[in-house]
Amino acid sequence: MNLDPKRSWAVPAPAATTLPVAGTALVFPVRRIYCVGRNYVDHIREMGADEKEPPFFFQKPTDAIVHSGASIPFPSATSDFQYEVELVLAIGLEGANLPIDDAERHIYGFAVGVDLTRRDVQIAARKSGRPWEIGKSFDHSAPCGDLIRLIDRPLPKSGRIELKVNGQVKQGADLGQMIWKSDEIVSKLSEQYRLLPGDLIYTGTPAGIGPLMRGDRIDATIAGLSSLSFRIRD
């Protein structure tokens, strides 16, 4: 929204959150961050949940984005800080109630991302029947690599997805193991929210989640995409 020229900001306006677009001088403005829960059978079993239930959506704050190469602090209020590698979709075309066969047209690009989680906080909130946003939606909780445009390569429906901590593979799977595919996720989410250019969707993680410590280096990759690397400050 443009500011009325007769008015001025009451406080400094927040900086825009953007992602680089690989191979270009473009940046992608981030509007919202949606995340899918429970989209790989092995991870659902790992978390002790019912694999027959459909995935659900939650959100992270826009300024939780972390670019590749960053160094981030260990978060407060947790002793069980965990990683979840995911395929990220970027929306480039507005739409609501999208049929599955039209959903891919609304995707601008994709990237590798990591959903960082305060697992102990999440589980405690869930057990008490309270919203567990505090376990997912905190500062620096959404690292994301450079976007690959859909016009530059097809949307990946299979391919290796992997996360390493200090050079050791912790998560490894294939995108083909996703229960809900990318077009189905976009379609389903558009039934609940009007999707707009700038929206990101983290599409769920495979098994192998685990803890991060101060000083750890994280390397996340998806075959054919720009890699994502970051560190937890010591």
C-alpha pair distances (Å), 32 with each of 16, 64, 79:
12, 10, 28
Domain membership flag for residue 29: yes
Q: In terms of Cα–Cα distance, which of 185, 108, 175 is closest to 148?
A: 108
> Distance between CA atoms of 205 and 161, rounded to whole angstroms?
9
Please indicate, yes or no, if residue 203 is contained in any of the structural domains.
yes
Confidence band for 39, pLDDT divided at 50, 70 and 90: confident
Supply the CATH number for residue 196's domain: 3.90.850.10
Q: In whole numbers, what is the pLDDT of the chain averaged over residues?
A: 93
Taking phi over 0 as left and psi of -120 to 50 as alpha, with beta for the rest, 199 belongs to beta
Residue with tokens 């002790």: 48
What is residue 56's predicted lDDT score, i.e. its pLDDT?
A: 85
pLDDT at residue 234, as a whole number: 86
In a domain, 191, yes or no: yes
Which pLDDT belongs to residue 203?
97
pLDDT-derived band at 10, boundaries 50, 70, 90: very high
What pLDDT, on the 0 to 100 scale, is given for residue 216? 98
Q: Is residue 11 part of a domain?
A: no
The structure tokens 């929306």 sit at 91
For residue 34, tell me if it sits in a domain: yes
- pLDDT exceeds 60 at position 50: no
Q: Are strands 210-211 and 65-67 parallel, antiparallel or unpaired?
A: unpaired
Q: What is the pLDDT of residue 46?
A: 59
Range of the domain at 205: 18-232
Return the pLDDT at 40: 83
Q: What is the pLDDT of residue 51?
A: 56
What are the tens digits of pLDDT across the range 144-163? 999 999 999 999 999 999 99
- Domain tally, the chain: 1
| ∠ CA 74-77-81, rounded to 5° | 50
**Average pLDDT rounded to a whole number, residues 117-129:** 94
Residue 84 has pLDDT above 60, yes or no: yes
Q: Is the pLDDT of residue 49 over 60?
A: no
| 101 assigned to some structural domain | yes
* Predicted pLDDT of residue 146: 98
What are phi and psi for residue 41, nearest 5 degrees? -55, -45
Q: Looking at the domain assignment, is residue 168 inside a domain? A: yes
pTM for the model: 0.94
Q: Confirm whether 106 is domain-assigned.
A: yes
Mean pLDDT, to the nearest integer, of 81-98? 98
Tens digit of each residue's pLDDT (9 = 90 or more) over 212-234: 999 999 999 999 999 999 999 98
Mean pLDDT of 15-44: 91
